[in-house]
Amino acid sequence: MFISNFDKELHKIRFHFATNNYLNNNFKTGHFKGYVDVLIEPQKMLIFHREIHFESFAIDLATTESWILKENSNYQTRKSLLDFLNQMHQTNIIQTIRQDNNNLFVFNNEQLQTLNEWITNNKITFNNLIALVRGSNPSGKFKNLKAGQLVCLDFNKEEDLKNVLCNTFFDAIFLNDFVLENDDLRNFKRMKSNSAEFFLNQILKSNEKKDNHAFEFLNCLLFDEYNENKINKLKLLYIELNKEKELIDNHISKYIKLIDKERNKVNKLNIQVFKQIKEYDRAHIYEIKMIKADLIKYIYNLRNQSSINDKEIKKQFIEAVSDKENLLNLDVNSHRAFDKYMFFYDLDGNIQINKKFDNKNWNIYNQNMSIIKKIDNKFLTKKRKFYLNQRILNYKNPSEFEGFWEFFKSK
């Protein structure tokens, strides 16, 4: 799993938000209230995934005339939402040219569920939410902060600056081009949500060294005295933070696509580590999800360099995907057990079986277990040992495993 490969480095944090007019009980224009769950790597300050949940949402269908005439990106985004809503609920909701009055449409509970799905899939930024709901341009991020239109509710009401700019911060560290796979999405939903207070107390106030623009921005936002110098500092840090995030995002997008392309070569490879198994899956030792997770860490650590060594990345990560020495021929059930970390191999090629592998599971997966209990020494090349070690390093609790014969005796 991508999530498990980051182990304790990833946290699920919940932040609450609302539009200013919602909090002031002014429901004449577009407004909303909800919360966002983010999957954040706190030491690197990157958000890999987020799910926005609206508890209340009203969109002003009245739209700036120039948006409609030019069919600009804001118009297209609103249209995409309304088209999706109309398709799912057999409605006919459309934008209208703004006149003197607003044209408010309030979402019911079923429509809110559709909205939440659409928002998550389309990775709408917090800043774009205002344009989405109002049908007009939002004010600048740093202009008249006290009148900010989108408010984070996890601070005291008096802390306007923190409330307004935390949403800006979330946009600036969100990796737009990274996509979690289905099993990781399920894991994310099962993860316990920690509070904003946890985020501040456990991460910002830790003694570990924080050496990036994200921490500078957040520390300045939360702890520096409010004055003009603070605003200017935040503006400059925000620019640098966006540059840094965009660089990381672009590299991740590029190399993840190369990994997925390389994956297509695997099915053509003839793997004969266990010769008695004729019908087999090609099981990665150094899993693709591990490769992706390690690639992201590698790219992040090089974020301040003017260029990234393309050849080194391809050698270290991309080529590993289709390297025959990173593959084992396992029957479909053994492959499934391998991917569930029910067993792995030590550097001597001996199988190590998870102590949690109960009798019921054993009966399902043990058909060829005696055949695959040992990787023959002739296949234990330096490279294959490297891949075996990567799997061991990426597994969270190697102490849960025991040798094959010890496991046999316990059954």
Per-residue pLDDT of 85-130, as tens digits, reads: 999 999 999 999 998 888 999 999 999 999 999 998 888 888 888 8
Provide the pLDDT for residue 280.
94
**258 within a domain of the structure (yes/no):** no
Q: Which residues pair with 60 in a beta bridge?
A: 104
Give residue 320's pLDDT band: very low, low, confident or very high (50, 70, 90): very high
Which tokens in the block code for residue 315? 């050698």
**169 within a domain of the structure (yes/no):** yes
More confident residue, 67 or 183: 67
**16 within a domain of the structure (yes/no):** yes
**199 within a domain of the structure (yes/no):** yes
Q: Running DSSP on this structure, what letter comes out for residue 36?
A: E
Considering the domain architecture, whether residues 237 and 269 belong to the same structural domain is answered as: no
Q: Decide if 390 contacts 286 (C-beta within 8 A).
A: yes
- Number of separate domains in the chain: 2
| Least confident stretch, 8-12, 133-137, 169-173, 318-322 | 8-12
Considering the domain architecture, whether residues 24 and 102 belong to the same structural domain is answered as: yes
> What is the crossing angle of helices 213-223 and 228-263, to 10°?
150
Instruction: Quote the domain boundaries for residue 301.
Output: 264-409
**176 within a domain of the structure (yes/no):** yes
Q: Within its chain, how far is the Cα of 301 from the centroid? A: 18
CA 328, CA 169: separation in Å to the nearest integer? Answer: 44
Q: Residue 251 in 3-state DSSP? A: helix
pTM across the whole model: 0.77
Considering the domain architecture, whether residues 207 and 66 belong to the same structural domain is answered as: yes
Residue 380 confidence (pLDDT) above 70: yes
Q: Which residues pair with 18 in a beta bridge?
A: 33, 151
Q: Running DSSP on this structure, what letter comes out for residue 225?
A: P
Considering the domain architecture, whether residues 286 and 179 belong to the same structural domain is answered as: no
Write the DSSP assignment of 193-218 as a string of letters.
PBPHHHIIIIIITSSS---SHHHHHH
Of 293, 348, 287, nearest in space to 320 by CA: 287
**340 within a domain of the structure (yes/no):** yes
Considering the domain architecture, whether residues 237 and 288 belong to the same structural domain is answered as: no
Considering the domain architecture, whether residues 238 and 300 belong to the same structural domain is answered as: no
Write the DSSP assignment of 122-176 as a string of letters.
HT--HHHHHHHHHSSPPPPTTSSGGG-SEEETTS-TT-HHHHHHHHHHHHHTB-T
Considering the domain architecture, whether residues 278 and 310 belong to the same structural domain is answered as: yes
**Helix, strand, coil percent content, the chain, rounded in steps of 5:** 50, 15, 30
Q: Running DSSP on this structure, what letter comes out for residue 202?
A: I
Q: Which residues pair with 51 in a beta bridge?
A: 37
CA 227, CA 224: separation in Å to the nearest integer? Answer: 9
Considering the domain architecture, whether residues 64 and 210 belong to the same structural domain is answered as: yes
| Least confident stretch, 2-11, 161-170, 305-314, 338-347 | 2-11
Q: Count H helices, E strands: the chain?
A: 17, 12
CA 227, CA 219: separation in Å to the nearest integer? Answer: 15
Considering the domain architecture, whether residues 91 and 208 belong to the same structural domain is answered as: yes
Which tokens in the block code for residue 269? 């490879």
Residue 262 confidence (pLDDT) above 90: yes
Question: How far does the chain reach from its first CA to its final CA, in angstroms?
Answer: 29
Percent of the chain clearing pLDDT 90 (strictly above): 39
**198 within a domain of the structure (yes/no):** yes
CA 58, CA 43: separation in Å to the nearest integer? Answer: 37
Query: Between vectors from CA 156 to CA 153 and to CA 157, what angle results, nearest 5°?
Result: 75
**251 within a domain of the structure (yes/no):** no
Give the best-scoring range by mean pLDDT among 162-166, 379-383, 400-404.
Answer: 379-383
Considering the domain architecture, whether residues 220 and 172 belong to the same structural domain is answered as: yes
Going by their DSSP bridges, the two strands 104-106 and 96-97 should be labelled as unpaired
Residue at token pair 């400059």: 236
Considering the domain architecture, whether residues 232 and 284 belong to the same structural domain is answered as: no
CA 64, CA 130: separation in Å to the nearest integer? Answer: 13
Considering the domain architecture, whether residues 307 and 204 belong to the same structural domain is answered as: no
Amino acid code (one letter) for 214: A
